[in-house]
Structure 1
């Protein structure tokens, strides 16, 4: 049996609603590897039923679980597909053609992004959604960063691009979109707190307006009606919410510190009193031992004198 040429890699966390359709769209690959990260739903049963090779575990960062999947792939070429993405037949055919004699490197794939059943063509950006990704690459030519959200990537080798697009069901509806904004900004704030960074208030406000304008006007989000407005709000609110969550975490930390400070001072005072009492007890013990020793010497001396 020859080694597979193309491995499709899917990283999933409780994606039973999306996983089957995603796996079926990847059936053209020589092997399908599914990384199950702390899954508690029916994702495992679905992947096993459709013949995928499973990697199970718990990884703290997105980059960690993706690297675990990349290491497990047997094919030299890897196609990363998220559970909410689908590989249309036209893209599958083009990928096979491109890989025939391609040099090791990374290949960009354009994305058709959907909110619900509506194809949204305009307004996407780095934070609310992307229109192209380095999803197809030679093993070893792409590495993920360790950020909690929007991890950076590093690529090397030859670079190319296909014309057929991946289908991406980004959000179910507007509610789902803003739930994603809340989730992403929380993770971004955690990254900044871990690095000891604090975004400025004025800079965050400026970024709200500049990113809203970029999404709604420069990227023509206005052409998408209320969906375009929602995407522009996402783009602008992301840095502002991240800033506010960092400030909230700092405030809560100060409150805990203020609460613990009197307890710490009281504990220190109690320790000082205890040390002082221990010192007094030791002094008394030493004094008593000295007195007892002195009395014993006097008694011995008296006994000696009475013997004479």
Structure 2
């Protein structure tokens, strides 16, 4: 007698994502269940998720890691595919996941990302907290745990690292203005984390060190990760990555919390 195929849960965490949620959920129909965490949503996200038969969790979670861990706990599947509302599971990836899960070892899969700014696919230059080329998006139920930071929370991963070849399509920014707004959100959240660290007596670095990181992070993305191959887009991405730590530091020091 053959054992039953592993059950797959698809997890989406959303905050007012009515513009993108339906397109995301449409690509997750192949999963055995869809779980949507609705964090302080005031738009039509709930109605949209309900239309896809999703299991809904509604509430308010100030920390990104906390709401993601809540969603993971709510999933009933043996394996979990965690995506964001601006991500789409390609048809090829859906087939690949179904093919590999019956033989998969306990652990997690690194899934490649195709990152888009508008309609432009940008393959090179991502990194330094400003986009990824792959991430552990598919994992066994107890193999992934998020940290308690507000932005870019740390990860604890267990088991064997495995790899998939088909991509998640990530519509990361609509345009340059969207990219700048993302930089503002990220640095505001990071500034709050820095204030928390300082309140615990931990070091948050110096002004000079963060100024130097502008250049080291720019070099990492533009040269080390070949952002130059993307022309002006590569320069822009490297610039955003370089500005992220110094703006976070300045906000932590010069602005009042909240």
Structure-2-length-normalised TM-score: 0.93
CA contact (8 A) 1:5 1:75 kept: yes
Aligned to 2:161: 159
CA positional deviation for 1:3: 9.6
Aligned counterparts of 1:75 and 1:154: Cα–Cα separation in 2: 19
> How big is the shift at 1:51?
1.3
Q: Which runs of 5+ in 2 are unaligned?
A: none
Q: 1:28 is matched with which residue?
A: 30
CA distance in 2 between counterparts of 1:61 and 1:201 reads 26
Which residue of structure 2 lines up, in the alignment, with residue 169 of structure 1? 171
- Which of the numbers 95, 99, 119 marks the counterpart of 2:101? 99
Corresponding residue of 1:215: 221
Structure 2 residue matching 1:20: 3-state secondary structure: helix
CA positional deviation for 1:4: 6.9
- Structure 1 residue 61, shift from structure 2 partner: 0.7
8 Å contact 1:4–1:74 — kept in the other structure?
Answer: no
How many pairs align?
250
Task: Give the number of the structure with larger relative contact order, counting CA–CA contacts within 8 Å between residues 6 or more apart.
Answer: 2
Choose which of 139, 142, 146 in structure 1 pairs with 2:141. Answer: 139
Q: Is the 2:6–2:102 contact (alpha carbons within 8 Å) kept by the matching residues of 1?
A: no
The structure 2 residue matched to 1:89, chosen from 88, 91, 98, is 91
Q: In terms of Rg, which structure is larger?
A: 1
- CA displacement 1:239-274 (0-9 Å, x = unmatched): 11112112203xx69xxxxxxxxxxxxxxxxxxxxx
* Candidates 182, 185, 188, aligned match of 2:184: 182
Q: Which runs of 5+ in 1 are unaligned?
A: 254-308
Deviation at residue 199 of structure 1 after TM alignment? 2.1
Question: Could you tell me which of 198, 202, 209 is aligned with 2:204?
Answer: 198
User: Which has a greater percent of strand?
Assistant: 2
Q: Which residue of 2 aligns with 1:246?
A: 252
Q: Please name the residue that 2:112 is paired with.
A: 110
1:65 counterpart (48, 58, 67): 67
Say whether the 8 Å CA contact 1:174–1:227 is kept in structure 2.
Answer: no
Preserved contact between residue 109 and residue 136 of structure 2 (Cα < 8 Å): yes
Structure 1 stretches of at least 4 aligned residues deviating more than 6 Å after TM superposition: none
**Which residue in the other structure is 2:238 paired with?**
232
The DSSP-based 3-state class of the residue aligned with 2:222 is helix
Structure in which a larger fraction of residues adopt helix: 1
